[in-house]
């Protein structure tokens, strides 16, 4: 018995429950963050109404339970016998028909392959979704989902926990060939062994030309120091975007951010708060203020600006010379998924230029598929010519990503940022 006890593997370190600052950030993301109200629904609703918080109360009470690393990996794949695939995504994050009752690309996939897609819009927030599935994944159980779409930092966490299956390149010929160089080799998933990009989300500077008197606003330094903008500047309540853009302006790489770099960026933002240069930190509720001119300029998400420009010719954007931040939402197959090959076939389908163009025309974020321009131009030439949707090589080279943070670092950074923003 003693020998058996000694040979038992030591338990892996357990992720800690979410801190108060992390839970507050989750609430903000769910109520007015990047994906809480989508571009189309937000612009229609003019800021009225938010998504329900669902299971947040339970998470608030005790935090997300600990979950150790699991290497259960794959199980028997039933794709050949069961012609179906379950895909979980964010709300309004794929093309829909005019009557909003159908998803044309998914129906075309089923018609071509015979594989039925159970499409569920059940991802409202990365941490909330993690809370839904972590107990099953930690126990090596099937979540009932074959394909999920999460943001890069959460992808990094789930891959590091051993909860995501490696993808089979043999089932991904279009994806392997057509993935844009900008997204090919993230530090959290080298070589895209476990994931493929769904959409890229650039963070840029937006401004209201009428509110700035026709002047261009094209740097974070201008946002933080220009006296003519005082009290009419917005930064995002998403830490990686606001701090990342500030780091770039300081000549620092968010890919390599140290604790000292982070503190220096916060000090710079704190000066903007103390001097009342910064009006407030916002989610995507900045749209109404920017449109009215209450915010003359702000840090903004590109997809929002593409949509807002359709309704307001005074709205403009700038890509700072120092660079800009890009995060990604990514497709992954969780452990024990019953239909891994079907999920891989669906991923690969999304990387066909004609299919990718249809999705890009609806979503208006950065399309990760090379060779899509001609197909997108057939749908809408203005979208094909928009660098916020199809960046050229020069613009793509100026894109940066915030490095993956460990649990301890994330708590520390989130608390410091919450202290800055008053969240």
User: What does each C-alpha distance from 163 to 71, 124, 134, 138, 210 come to in angstroms?
Assistant: 7, 20, 9, 8, 50
Total Cβ atoms within 10 A of residue 54: 15
**Residue 357 pLDDT class (50, 70, 90 cuts):** very high
Determine contact, residues 149/330, Cβ cutoff 8 Å. Answer: yes
Can you state the angle between helices 340-350 and 353-363, rounded to 10 degrees?
80
Cα–Cα distance, 325 to 243 (Å, whole number) = 10
Out of 108-112, 306-310, 377-381, 399-403, least confident range: 306-310
Can you state the angle between helices 259-274 and 239-249, rounded to 10 degrees?
90
**What string of DSSP letters covers 329-376?**
EEEE-BTT-TTHHHHHHHHHHHTSHHHHHHHHHHH-SB--BTT-HHHH
User: What does each C-alpha distance from 242 to 8, 63, 137, 358 come to in angstroms?
Assistant: 45, 26, 32, 31
Termini Cα distance of the chain: 53
**Residue 100 pLDDT class (50, 70, 90 cuts):** confident
Per-residue pLDDT reduced to its tens digit, 45-57: 332 222 233 333 3
Alpha-carbon 193 to chain mean position: 19
Total Cβ atoms within 10 A of residue 142: 15
Cα–Cα distance, 225 to 348 (Å, whole number) = 47
Determine contact, residues 54/315, Cβ cutoff 8 Å. Answer: no
**pLDDT for position 405:** 87
Helix or strand holding residue 145 (H, E): none
Residue whose C-alpha is closest to residue 130's, from 18, 238, 283? 18
260 burial (CB, 10 Å; 0-12 / 13-18 / 19+) is exposed
**pLDDT for position 19:** 64
Cα–Cα distance, 414 to 409 (Å, whole number) = 8
**pLDDT for position 395:** 92
Can you state the angle between helices 126-138 and 20-32, rounded to 10 degrees?
120
Bin 140: left if φ > 0, else alpha if -120 < ψ < 50, else beta. left
Does residue 368 or residue 100 have the better pLDDT? Answer: 368
- 3-state SS assignment for residue 56: helix
Determine contact, residues 268/274, Cβ cutoff 8 Å. Answer: no
Mean pLDDT, to the nearest integer, of 203-220? 97
**pLDDT for position 16:** 55
**What string of DSSP letters covers 60-125?**
HHH-SPP------------TTTS-EEEEEEETT-S---TTSS--HHHHHHHHHH--EEEEEEEES-
**What string of DSSP letters covers 244-261?**
HHHHHHTT--GGG--HHH
* Residues of the chain above pLDDT 70, percent: 82
pTM value is 0.80
**pLDDT for position 56:** 34
């Amino acid at each position: 018995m003693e020998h058996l006890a000694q040979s038992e593997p030591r338990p892996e370190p357990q992720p800690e429950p979410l801190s108060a600052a992390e839970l507050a950030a989750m609430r903000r993301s769910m109520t007015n963050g990047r994906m809480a109200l989508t571009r189309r629904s937000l612009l229609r609703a003019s800021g009225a109404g938010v998504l329900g918080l669902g299971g947040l109360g339970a998470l608030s009470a005790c935090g997300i339970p600990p979950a150790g690393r699991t290497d259960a990996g794959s199980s028997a794949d039933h794709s050949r016998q069961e012609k179906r695939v379950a895909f979980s995504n964010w709300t309004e994050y794929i093309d829909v028909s005019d009557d909003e009752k159908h998803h044309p690309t998914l129906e075309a996939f089923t018609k071509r392959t015979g594989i039925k897609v159970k499409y569920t819009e059940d991802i409202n927030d990365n941490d909330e979704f993690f809370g839904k599935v972590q107990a099953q994944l930690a126990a090596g159980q099937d979540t009932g989902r074959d394909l999920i779409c999460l943001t890069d930092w959460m992808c990094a966490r789930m891959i590091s926990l051993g909860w995501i299956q490696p993808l089979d390149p043999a089932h991904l010929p279009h994806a392997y060939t057509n993935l844009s160089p900008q997204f090919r080799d993230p530090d959290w998933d080298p070589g895209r062994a476990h994931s493929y990009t769904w959409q890229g989300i650039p963070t840029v500077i937006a401004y209201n030309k009428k509110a700035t008197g026709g002047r261009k606003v094209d740097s974070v330094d201008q946002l933080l120091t220009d006296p003519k903008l005082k009290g009419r500047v917005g930064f995002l309540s998403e830490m990686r975007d606001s701090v990342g853009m500030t780091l770039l302006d300081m000549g620092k790489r968010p890919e390599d951010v140290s604790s000292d770099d982070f503190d220096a960026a916060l000090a710079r933002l704190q000066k903007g708060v103390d001097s009342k240069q910064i009006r407030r930190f916002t989610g995507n509720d900045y749209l109404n203020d920017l449109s009215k001119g209450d915010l003359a300029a702000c840090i903004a998400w590109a997809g929002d600006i593409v949509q807002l420009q359709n309704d307001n010719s005074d709205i403009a954007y700038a890509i700072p010379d120092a660079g800009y931040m890009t995060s990604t939402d990514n497709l992954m197959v969780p452990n024990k998924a019953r239909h891994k090959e079907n999920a891989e076939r669906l991923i690969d389908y999304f990387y066909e230029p004609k299919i990718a163009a249809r999705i890009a025309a609806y979503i208006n974020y950065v399309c990760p598929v090379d060779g899509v321009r001609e197909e997108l131009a057939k749908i809408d030439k203005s979208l094909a010519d928009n660098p916020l949707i199809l960046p050229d090589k020069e613009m793509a080279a100026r894109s940066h990503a915030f490095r993956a943070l460990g649990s301890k670092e994330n708590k520390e950074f989130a608390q410091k940022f919450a202290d800055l923003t008053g969240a």
